[in-house]
Amino acid sequence: MAKHRVSKEGRSLFGSRKRDSLFERSFTRCHGCGDDVYVLAEDCRACGAVLNAATSNPAPEPVRHAQPVPQAHYAQLARQAQPLAQPRPVLQARPVHYAQLASQARLAAVAGEPKLRAS
């Protein structure tokens, strides 16, 4: 495994993505002034706001359903589903014959039409 090489100026030779991700994991935004604050700091140096996990980066509330949906309900919904107004056409793949495409292209070139595109 290759070592992570760093230039003389301290910049990564492979781009700054690794440095940016380390910065994002090590710092958070202050809820008071919006300044970058080290994750393990107890208060913001700029405004003095007290930081903790609840105020600086609150976790989203988990989604709770009133009651679980029984599996039989899904089968009932499938039976009640209405069919489409017009059935969709079933597309069938046909083998491509390159000799046929080439002959069509030659005929189109003779007729002066633009080249055909395979779809």
Give residue-wise pLDDT tens across range 46-82. Answer: 787 777 644 445 555 666 666 666 777 777 877 777 6
Which carries the bigger pLDDT value, residue 74 or residue 13? 74
What is the pLDDT, as a whole number, of residue 1?
A: 44
What are the start-end ranges of the E strands in 1-119?
27-29, 36-38
37 DSSP β-pair partners: 28
Q: Structural domain boundaries of the chain?
A: 11-58
Does residue 98 register a pLDDT over 70? yes
Rounded to two decimals, what is the model's pTM?
0.25
What is the mean predicted confidence (pLDDT) over 93-99? 71
Which carries the bigger pLDDT value, residue 85 or residue 17? 85
Q: Are 31 and 49 in contact (CB under 8 A)?
A: yes
Amino acid at 110: V
Calculate the average pLDDT of the chain: 67
What is the pLDDT, as a whole number, of residue 56?
A: 47
6 DSSP β-pair partners: 12
